[in-house]
Amino acid sequence: MLLRTLASSRPWKSARPLAWACCALLAAGMLLPACRSNDQEGELSDEENLSLYYERALRYYEMRELDRCQDQVQKGLQIDPKNERLLLMLGRCHQTRGTLQDVLAAEQIFRKHPAKKDFRVRVCLGGTLERKGTYYYRAADGVESGEKLTEAPDPVARAAELREEARKAWEESYGEYEVALQLFPGGFEALNGLMRTSVLLERYDQSFEWSTHFLQAISESNQVFRKRLREQQITGDATVDTELTLLNNADLEVQVRLHRAELLHQKDEDRASLSELDTALAIDDELPEIFALRGQLLRELGEYQRSNDSLERYLSLSNEPFDHPNIRKAFDWIEKNKAALARERASATPR
């Protein structure tokens, strides 16, 4: 089993982990008008004030100043309690905080949201349910181990109940992501969520299939934005946003490739797994995680020198402290690889 897994703790942590499902609160490229000063608010109409509160809330959300964001949202909701954009933003504030209480609050907001056919609402509900299921699953582990107190007379039975609640939450999350994908075909957030929740539900082949769809969606996006970039370069228009989108797509593809490598390794398809890692390496040759995983996989394939080359490259790139378990494990593998190479040389030497 590769050290990096989605379904359990990951000893090799990525510097740029695959993003949790998130909602696009504005269309790409939309410019925000400058906020007005506080003393102008009384002169504005309700519609103008709503726009102002939303603009401020969005800016605060982008800066992850969630309390200030929520304050602006609540002011807007006092004017229009059913405002769809503000309700979506309120749910995202709770979802981003991520405590169990906030996750449950976000769930209720998204369930009651009036825009049931808005893919952003469905994908946000899917992400909230996914995280809720994770809380239940971790609670089950705590109850079963005795680390978490419970009033239930049978802790083992209670742990089983919590795991079943987690499964139900993940099942519903998967369904919400499916609906979101139907509403917005090719949506990265929904494909990402379907790929993840398939793993949580132990449907690994299904997760691999979704990863294939995800790679196709990334490829199609790249085609569109590369064409746009060429046109912008010809006309002399600004290219920063387009270039950033392509860079983000590259990061996403690397993470999907790493995920596929894990799934293939679980099926003992180690050469195919290595191919996915090599493809990821061709995209990003400075991500330590890729070299760590290649080093482990090559060692298991008996290619000890190539394994050491990858592990040494990992050590040169990693920012983890010397006493970190990952670093210690890499040094341990390097020494074991050297011993294996010495044995191979000794066995090949004529006596």
pLDDT by residue (tens digit) across 117-145? Answer: 999 999 999 999 999 999 999 999 999 88
Q: Report d(CA 4, CA 297) in Å as an integer.
A: 11
SS3 22: coil
Cβ contact 131:98 at 8 Å: yes
CA dihedral 273, 279, 284, 289 (to 10 degrees): 0
Give the number of C-alpha atoms closer than 13 A to the C-alpha of residue 12, restricted to the C-beta side.
25
Specify the pLDDT at position 17: 30
Q: Which two tokens stand for residue 102?
A: 């906030």
SS3 278: helix
Cβ contact 39:47 at 8 Å: no
Tokens 């993003």, located at residue: 19
Q: What are phi and psi of 221, to 5 degrees?
A: -65, -40
- The per-residue b/e assignment along 126-146, b for 16 or more CB within 10 angstroms, e otherwise, is bbbbbbbbbbbbebbebbbee
153 CB-near residues (< 8 Å, 6+ apart)? none
Specify the pLDDT at position 217: 98
Specify the pLDDT at position 146: 87
Specify the pLDDT at position 147: 86
pLDDT, one tens digit per residue, over 298-333 is 999 999 999 999 999 999 999 999 999 999 999 999
Specify the pLDDT at position 348: 78
CA distances from 149 to 51, 104, 109 (A): 47, 21, 30
Specify the pLDDT at position 272: 97
Task: DSSP for 42-101, please give it.
Answer: GGS-HHHHHHHHHHHHHHHHHTT-HHHHHHHHHHHHHH-TT-HHHHHHHHHHHHHH--HH
Measured in residues, the chain has a length of 351
Provide the percentage of residues in the chain whose pLDDT is more than 90: 82
Q: Report d(CA 268, CA 59) in Å as an integer.
A: 47
Closest CA to 298 of 327, 254, 328, 330: 330
> Across the chain, how many H-helices and E-strands are there?
13, 0
Tokens 């504030």, located at residue: 93
Specify the pLDDT at position 285: 96
- Count of beta carbons in the 10 Å neighbourhood of residue 88: 21
The region, left, alpha or beta by phi > 0 then psi within -120 to 50, assigned to residue 79 is: alpha
Q: Which of the residues in the chain have pLDDT under 70?
A: 1-42, 351
Q: Which two tokens stand for residue 205?
A: 């082949």
